[in-house]
Structure 1
Amino acid sequence: MPDITIWNLILLAEIGFGFILLLFLLKVSTKLNWYLPLAIYVLLVMIDCYSEFLFQTGNIVNTPHLLYASEPFNLLAGPMIYLYARSQEYQRFKWIKTDFLLLTPSIISLLVYIPTYTMSAADKILEYQNYGTLESDVENFVWEWIFLVSINVTFFAGALQRFKNYNDKIKTLYSNIKNADLRITQILIRLCIAIYILELVAVFLTYYELPFNNESYNLYDIFQLIVLVLIGYDAFRTYKHSATIKQEWQRIHLEDGQNIIQPIKYANSNLTPEQSAEIKAKLQMYMEKHEPYLESQMRIKDLAEQTGISSHQISQVLNESFNQNFFEFVNCYRVKKAKALIEDPTNAPLTLTAIGFEAGFNSKTTFYEAFKKATGTTPAQYKQNLSLSDY
């Protein structure tokens, strides 16, 4: 039996952890079915790791018919992440007719590999033993990986763009987006992009016989294991709070579904500069006097009802006069309130997190990010600077 290296053990760890994660994701999918494409992605990673393990250890000679068996499946990784992103956006998984087009690259790859799959076991073993000895073989290998990476990264980029557009629309409507914030999924997708780019770099290093080619492949395996761990963390966190998250998303999509799907446009607005200035002044006066931003679940719809100004006009004025969306506009007032609370000596016993909640934020993360964006410093640093200025 060939020697087992630490990197082979990492592959086995990926397979083992992937199997446990797959079972958990299937369980999660019974409550939150948008995790189903991610479960398929984990299965694809397991198949890829097992194929790589057989190839690296030489055990492929004992199962020659598995040679290149995983190649067409590698082209499904990007589409599955894209479907997961789309499912996350709408908090449900739904297969539509046009989704069959996502399988096209994988089907093309399958057709290309059919001659290899129909070879005898002896010929496949010979193919494995002679792998990479001909320059044409290596060149084909490079072009194959360029195709693989291009397809998958294109789908990953498409998924990120969906999230960007969606978050922009959400921030137009809501002053806090704790449950609608899909940053973990975005980190996951960016890691997937990094993995495929890293693997392509490793392929070129191998092709030109440059240093660190093996190290690049090893780093790829480590990154892939990190992705699996991140998937597990995200799924566990979401599953734990599944009831709350489903209620929050249902509220978002039922109440403001049309506004979320369609971007707010101002091309046909008949709002004059004078009216815009009047609305701007009215909004500022109302925010200062009534402090509606202290309500953590405040929506643009709520502000419209309280001020008698339409949501469309509020959004237009915020965008054109303040250069802000609703999320940014309200959080600026919350930051101002938080600063006042921090500066007030009677609030010294309160924690900074408690001050954030008092100011209208619904999460510590949102509070700290908004505060730092507005002031250039964290709440803790701001409080410390105040203490130092007293001496």
Structure 2
Amino acid sequence: MKQNYSTIKEKDFLWIEKLLICFLLVRIVGFILNTSEILFGYDVSWDAYITISFLIVAMAYLGFYGITQSKIILPDFLIENHIAKTIELENKTSYLKDDEKEVLKQQFYKCMSEEKLYLLPDLNLKMIADKMEVSQRKLSAFFGEVLNSSFYDSINSFRVEEAKTVLKSNAVESHSITGIGLSCGFSSKSSFYRIFKNKTGMSPSEYRRVALKESHRT
């Protein structure tokens, strides 16, 4: 997902939590039935049917929930990217030619500096590939070979730089720090604070305080 999406939302991974919860419930039901037989001498010949019923209900629920989570099903281009990268590592060859790298670099930075596509919270690889009129496979290779980064990290670096600029300005007086993060393309307060601190070593609030101190000194 980091190779193709600029935002990884927590809800995209809730199915894992639900899977574990359903599995745990089925195990608890089985444990209660077995314990009852041992401690209280209950001879429940149909206890297996209870466990199976719970299992069927859990699987039906997970199946229904799974088909509503489109990002769980990997698109074909992700598989193609994985195969391409595997072959590339094995052969130690570059997928992109030198002249292609320079052209893609200019196109990409134009999309970032002039059109500021990183401000879109749901920006993904396909959107930029369509804008640059290149294949998603080629653009994905560009991030790995030229920027030595994933799509996710590259886009969020632009968002952090934008946030740093705004935090140094007077915009904080009329907008909350969280609002600034959202305006810079982050999808939530938690992702803004986490990514910003990972990139700068400080939270947005701490960065704002340091910037204010430095401005007063000058």
TM-score (normalizing by structure 2): 0.68
Q: For residues 40 and 359 of structure 1, what CA distance do their matches in structure 2 show?
A: 40
Q: Which has the higher contact order (CA 8 A, sep 6+)?
A: 2
Provide the residue aligned with 1:45 in structure 2: 28
1:300 is displaced (CA, Å) by 1.1
Secondary structure at 1:290 match in 2: coil
Identity rate of aligned residues, in percent?
Answer: 19
1:63 aligns with 2:63: no
Compute the TM-score of the two structures, normalised by the length of structure 1: 0.40
Decide whether the 8 Å contact of 2:81 with 2:137 is kept in 1: no
1:368 corresponds in structure 2 to 193
**CA distance 1:276–1:350, shift in 2 (3 Å):** same
Q: Is the 8 A contact 2:66 2:72 kept in 1?
A: no
From the superposition, tell whether residues 374 and 51 of structure 1 become closer, same or farther in structure 2 (CA, over 3 Å).
Answer: same
User: Helix, strand or coil: the match of 1:92?
Assistant: helix
**CA separation in 2, counterparts of 1:92 and 1:288?**
38
Structure 1 unpaired stretches of 5+: 1-31, 94-245
Give 1:259's aligned residue: 77
Which amino acid in the other structure matches residue 113 of structure 2?
E
Aligned to 2:154: 329
Give CA-to-partner distance per residue, 1:216-264, whole Å, 9 cap, x none: xxxxxxxxxxxxxxxxxxxxxxxxxxxxxx4xx34x479x722245544
- The residue correspondences of 1:63-212 to structure 2 (distance < 5 A) are 63=41, 91-92=65-66
**Partners of 2:181 and 2:192 within 8 A in 1:** yes
Q: Is 2:100 the counterpart of 1:275?
A: yes
Matched with 2:180 is: 355
Residue 317 of structure 1, CA deviation:
1.0
Moved over 6 A (4+): none
Aligned residue pair count: 184
Question: Which letter does structure 1 place at the counterpart of 2:75?
Answer: G
Aligned partners of 1:343 and 1:386 also within 8 Å: yes
* CA RMSD of superposed structures (Å): 3.7
1:11-67 deviation digits (Å, cap 9, x = unpaired) = xxxxxxxxxxxxxxxxxxxxx9x9588435313224325655x69xxx81x31758x
Equivalent-residue separation in structure 2 for 1:321 and 1:91 (angstroms): 38
CA distance in 1, matches of 2:98, 2:80: 25
Distance 1:356 1:301, change over 3 A: same
CA distance 1:253–1:47, change in 2 (3 Å): closer
2:96–2:142 Cα contact (<8 Å) kept: no
Q: Secondary structure at the match of 2:66?
A: coil
Distance 1:273 1:292, change over 3 A: same
**Distance (Å, rounded) in 2 between the aligned partners of 1:257 and 1:294:** 24
Q: C-alpha distance in 1, partners of 2:32/2:208? A: 50
Q: Which has the larger radius of gyration?
A: 1
Distance 1:308 1:262 in 2: 19
Contact 1:293 1:330 in 2 (8 A): yes
Q: 1:326/1:91 Cα in 2 relative to 1: closer, same or farther (>3 Å)?
A: farther
CA shift, 1:388, in A, is 3.0
Distance 1:363 1:381 in 2: 18
Task: Tell whether the 8 Å contact from 2:95 to 2:141 is kept in structure 1 after alignment.
Answer: no
Cα drift, residue 336 of structure 1: 0.7
Are 1:318 and 2:136 an aligned pair? no
